[in-house]
Every structure is written in structure tokens, then in C-alpha cells.
Structure 1
Amino acid sequence: MAQVRPKKQLGQHFLKDLSIAQKIVDALPKDSRSNVLEIGPGTGVLSDLMVDEESFRNLVLLDVDRESIDYLEKKYKDKEVKILLADFLKEDVLSIFNNGHFSIIGNFPYNISSQIFFKVLDIKEHVDEVVCMLQKEVAERIASKEGNKDYGILSVLLQAYYDIEYLFTVPPEVFLPPPKVNSGVIRLKRNGVSDIGCDEKLFKRVVKAGFQMRRKTLRNALKPLNLPESIREQEVFNKRAEQLSVDDFIQLTNLIQSHV
């Protein structure tokens, strides 16, 4: 069977180390394997380990690469697995699992990994767990805590709803072709919080505005929100966004909402 050619425009780097593939699959707990969506299966290095594993039920492989889909359909023609030619960022993925709960696994394309997570946030009430590999710097940023230079918008927004662990680093030489950077594997587990205790839309606006000028104090960074002078005199506005925890941002959002 002909192999799939990695395509630069799709950000494809195919993992070829089976021991690392096994570690990624093992990182998805057995109680989170009833409905599983793999994003960007490529040649199936992760899929191979899941299609024959009894704990994985209702496995769906989703890729934008027609060559990859054709290859996987032949490879798994006798397996119980659903294979879809679709773009995760555009697809109504909730309908795939009948609006139920599911987990996500995959070696995410570096160029759209942040966009994938913003979509995960949009459907967070359905996504129980995510185990994925992406660029190491992005993985570290997502898992980073306040006070760290890597801490940013995705850190706060994702940590409001997920418990996040940085699991391990993966070197470039285990990919075809090798990327120019290291990769990192992280796990996100839904924390059960449905209501974070503030207006969610305003929370996102405050977080994004705060980090867009991260070197400035919140007094300056949040100027686009046109806050009254009385609120901007409070102590929290002397801090920079990277100094605030998720709970601090929630309190700040409530403070702002009470004055606008």
C-alpha cells in the first residue's frame, strides 16, 4: 500500500516512533475512550494502536488530506472505525457524536493548533479530554501558570475549564519530515466547571485585551474597554496580565461588569 506524502502546506509531520505513539495513546485514560475523535491521523501511527484496542469505542478519524483519507480507508477497510474527509475547524463535530461527550487525540498541525483549541473552548461542554502533540512552545504556554513569561490568552481561557498537564517533550528526529522545533505532548481534562462565576464573553474580552499589550499594566492594556476612571484607580490595575491567575481574571471581570 502506497504511503502518504507529508504536505508542507498542511503542516504535516508524520510521527514514526512507535514507542512515542504508544505513550500518546496511553495518556488518554480508559474511562475517556467511549467516543474518540482523532484530528489529523496522517498515516495512522496513533490510529493503529486504537483500532484494535477494545477500550476504544466509536473511534472517528478526521483529516483534510484526501490522500491520507484514501490510504486509511484501504488500511482499515475491515475495522470498526469511521473515517471522515473534513476540516475540524469548519466541521460540525458535535453531530458526529450526536451532541454527546467525546475526547480528542492527535498530532495537531503546528500552524492551526491554537485555532483548534479556540474551537475546543466553543464546544467545551462536550469535550471531556484532549491528549495532543503540538509545538513545544505552544504546549508550554497552554500549561503555564501565572507569573511565567509563557502564560497567555490560551493559558487562562483553557485553564478556566480544564486541568492541564505537560506530559513530555518529543525531539524533531522522530518525525518525517523533521520539524525545526521540539514538540510537546499535553493532556487537558475537563474540570467540571460550567459556570466560571462571571460573564463569559466579557471574561474573554478582558483576558484578550490584557495580553495584547502584556508589557503594559492593566490600566493601560484595558483602555480599549473604555472603563471609568474610578475603577481604573484600583490596585489590580497596577498589575500586568501575566501576574493574574484565572481566579484573579474572573474577579476582575466581575469588578468591571459592576462598573459598566
Structure 2
Amino acid sequence: MYQINALNPKDEGHQARKRFGQNFLHDQGVIAKIVRSVSPRAGDNIIEIGPGLAALTSPLIGECEALTVLELDRDLAAGLPGRVPHPERLTIIETDALKFDFNSLVQAERPLRIVGNLPYNISTPLLFHLIEFGGKVKDMHFMLQKEVVDRITAEPNSKEYGRLSVMIQYYCKATFLFAVPPGAFNPPPKVTSAVFRLEPYAVKPIVAKDEKALARLVSHVFTQRRKTLRNSLKGMLNEGAFEAAGVDPMARPETLTLAQFVALADQMVA
């Protein structure tokens, strides 16, 4: 995935780095739409991942009292104070978000609001890393490849529906917000992007007896998504388990709801 970065004249000397997957966002309409979606308020505890050249940082910091950013590229981190209108409101942490303890940023009565872009090559593990802090997070707004966002927000009985859909939606309400065309970036990436929102559940609407068992089950069946559940779960669940869960053993995984996956996983630990 690419950095969400502003491209302006004073940044012309910065070369996009392939190892960080950087492309620079220059479409002010898209930037404004992202900020409107986040809807920052003065007392918010906002954390931005991958601020880059401050495309989102600048408008966000103008709307809140303080903003913390996590940036892995130390050259970009060094230049951030000079790119934002209120540098005194900015806290810069040079770190890898995948290894960062977000609990360290939690403040009393001020849940985290996390925004930014997620590098494609670590997007899935990073999402699950962030979900670990879900109880301290109000919401998350991210940009990713549209195909990944389609999978995260997919409903049953669609080709996009899979492990990522089920497991993310177990922990969060996932909402597709809008697509972003390649032309919004310079250089333009080869894929369309999309912005989406995750809202971690304070109280999950469906609770599994064993979340690790649920994760194992979901991962297993979607590696064999063309097989019926009876065949893919042979040796793991018997006919009685399917009946107790109220799930058709001849169904294929993409047809099951989250509640049905939880019911099956509960049978594994019954």
C-alpha cells in the first residue's frame, strides 16, 4: 500500500520510496472527503498512522487540540513540523505501527481515534494488531486497496466474503465509505483505493466461547472454500455438531453468517 501524502512545491525534492510503497495524494477533494468522514473534534485523541507529507495531518491538526502520528520513515518524520499549521499540537513517534503498543496513548475518558493508511504488505496483521486494542478505540478510518476493503466489508454469498470479512466483522462494525481513483495520487498506483471505517464493539453482538477456536475454524474452511463444510471439517465436527449449530453440512463457507460460524466454533469446544 502507498503512503497518503500531500504533494506540494516544497516537497518536490522528496522521492517516493518503493520500500515504503509511497505515492503522494494530491487531490484536495479526496483529502477533504476523508477529513469529513473522520469528523475530528477538539477533544479527540487522534492517532494517525503513516502521515507521510501531511496530506491528512494538516487539516486534521487544524480541527483538534493535539494529534499523535506514527511514522516509520525518519526523513519524513523530521520534516513534519514544517508541513503543518500548528506544529505545537503535533507529537511524532518514529516507530513501526505493527510493533507499537497503542495502550501507551490511551487517555482517561478519551478513546483512541485512529486514521491513516495501512501498507498493503502488512495490512492484515496490522488490522488484527489494532483490534487487540479495540476496547480503547472509538473508531478507525483507513485507506487500502479497494479489493481489500471489499473483502473486509463483504456480506455472505459474495465472492469477496472470506476469512477477513468474518474475523474483522466479529470484532468491529465495518463500513465501506468511498473509492479513490488512481489519478488522485502522483505517481498513480495501479489499483483503485477505498476508504473505510471500523468501529470496535464495546459489547460484541455475537460472542464465541473460544475466539481462537473461531479463528482456526474460519481460516480452515476458507482455505478449502470450494468444499462443503462436511468435507472440509471432516474429523473436526460430526453430524451432531452441525445439527446442534443449526448449520447445513452441505453448505459452503461463503454462505454462512457470522452467527453460524460462531455456532460451529462453539461446537468445537462444547
Q: TM-score, normalised to structure 2's length?
A: 0.86
Q: Deviations over 1:166-210 (max 9, x none)?
A: 111111011122110100111112233247142111111111111
Seen in structure 2, the aligned counterparts of structure 1 residues 12 and 115 have a Cα distance that, compared at 3 Å, is farther
Matched, 1:24 2:34: yes
Q: Deviations over 1:58-104 (max 9, x none)?
A: 31111111111011133347331111110000111221235862011
> Is the CA contact (8 Å cut-off) linking 2:158 and 2:254 kept in structure 1?
yes
State the alpha-carbon separation in 2 of the partners of residues 144 and 189 from structure 1.
16
Q: Could you say what the CA RMSD is over the residues aligned between the two structures, in angstroms?
A: 2.2
How many residue pairs were aligned? 254
2:98 is aligned to: 89
1:237 is aligned to: 249
**Runs of 5+ consecutive residues of structure 1 not aligned to the other structure:** none
2:267 is aligned to: 255
Matched, 1:62 2:73: no
> Is the CA contact (8 Å cut-off) linking 2:145 and 2:192 kept in structure 1?
yes
2:7 is aligned to: none
> Is the CA contact (8 Å cut-off) linking 2:139 and 2:200 kept in structure 1?
yes
Percent identity of equivalent pairs: 35
> Is the CA contact (8 Å cut-off) linking 1:37 and 1:61 kept in structure 2?
yes
Task: Kindly state the Cα deviation for residue 12 of structure 1 after the two structures are TM-superposed.
Answer: 1.6
**Runs of 5+ consecutive residues of structure 2 not aligned to the other structure:** 1-9
> Is the CA contact (8 Å cut-off) linking 2:72 and 2:96 kept in structure 1?
yes
State the alpha-carbon separation in 1 of the partners of residues 152 and 98 from structure 2.
19
Which structure 2 residues correspond to residues 6-155 of structure 1 after superposition, within 5 A?
6-30=16-40, 34-53=44-63, 56-76=64-84, 78-97=87-106, 101-155=111-165
Q: TM-score, normalised to structure 1's length?
A: 0.89
State the alpha-carbon separation in 1 of the partners of residues 33 and 267 from structure 2.
44
Task: Kindly state the Cα deviation for residue 221 of structure 1 after the two structures are TM-superposed.
Answer: 2.4
1:211 pairs with one of 222, 243, 260: 222
State the alpha-carbon separation in 1 of the partners of residues 237 and 258 from structure 2.
23
State the alpha-carbon separation in 2 of the partners of residues 11 and 163 from structure 1.
28
